[in-house]
Structure 1
């Protein structure tokens, strides 16, 4: 259980912070401008899950949060956690900036990371919850689909070509979404029982939770469904996706392979968008 420490006043913290103890790219003036309120344009950490507890707000990337008072970046908002250093103490985030923000396991933007899309709220995943060491603002285009090190028979562009060639097909079955994305990448099966299980098996290195800017070839995952199996579809780029059980209007149509969007799946299938992953398949790991 997290231990609360004595809250430092904003004035005291601002005086004590020096350039030598701030993260890369930050200044004392920048630190002093943080007010513990998640304003438009900011990326915010929360001490508790579900965007609860004290807030620590940022407008730029930070490579090193520091680990001790009075020189660390801390939680400044009211509530549980106020005054604690944020390193390895955050449980959820709200990205109110216009860029994707990556939360990293290590300082200096190292190790595994979780991508938080512009405007998204998210709990940090099991790897990063209370293990956050740095964060970086990135443009959506900086993360592309890649099969590097994954051993997929087809490249990202090859999978997209396969999907486009099969749009309109009625021979791929019903409820076969996880199987079909594997077919697109040249596998005979995904190695996972269902889409949601597939999502949970993907290493955090290849995951972008909450990020809706899915590059062509990326796999977009959802949770929910009548049996809890979720859904997965392949990005065609530009916000379009190839999906099983989708008709010409992009909405649910059993047995047809069609083109749709994340928002349409949310409304038509009634499922919750989780994020996207690189083309990692259990069958090869």
Structure 2
């Protein structure tokens, strides 16, 4: 899992530096959380509100989420190097194609407790899990 996060983080950082445009079907609210290569789903937490500051991203093409965010850190910008767990202010969920489904940011580890909905192809500020995010999971409709 750590390797997948590092690869996704590297891809996201590379896309931000190169400035690749996302597909027209899934325009992300932040150019730092892009679908890249064969990825069909990506979830990103941001250190600041409005999808700003440090970013931590995951390719969810073959995974449903992360049950415990302990050990993951923000990269690129304000908050870089800080733990993702209990430090995120906003999130985005990118989906290639139809933009259906959503991801949930959970207050507790293992997908429990209050949650924020992040709908496909959008980003939003966290409310229920603002600086209290411990896990996330994608859902399809």
Match of 1:106 in 2: 108
Q: Within the alignment, does 1:39 sit opposite 2:34 as a pair?
A: yes
**Unaligned 5+ runs, structure 1:** 1-26, 67-71, 141-285
Match of 1:58 in 2: 58
Deviation for aligned residue 1:96: 1.0
Q: Within the alignment, does 1:123 sit opposite 2:97 as a pair?
A: no
Q: Distance in 1 between the 2:52 and 2:66 partners?
A: 22
- Residue-pair matches, total: 107
**Unaligned 5+ runs, structure 2:** 14-31, 36-40
Q: TM-score, normalised by structure 2?
A: 0.71
Greater per-residue strand proportion: 2
Match of 2:74 in 1: 75
Partner SS state of residue 55, structure 1: strand
Pair member with larger Rg: 1
Q: Distance in 2 between the 1:118 and 1:83 partners?
A: 27
Out of 64, 89, 93, the residue aligned to residue 95 of structure 1 is: 93
Partner SS state of residue 94, structure 1: strand
Q: Distance in 1 between the 2:132 and 2:112 partners?
A: 12
| CA RMSD, 1 decimal | 1.4
Greater per-residue helix proportion: 1
Q: Deviations over 1:42-81 (max 9, x none)?
A: 1111100011101111123000011xxxxx11112x2100
The answer to whether the 8 Å contact 2:8/2:58 transfers is yes
Match of 1:139 in 2: 140
Q: Which runs of 4+ in 1 moved over 6 A?
A: none
Q: Within the alignment, does 1:48 sit opposite 2:48 as a pair?
A: yes
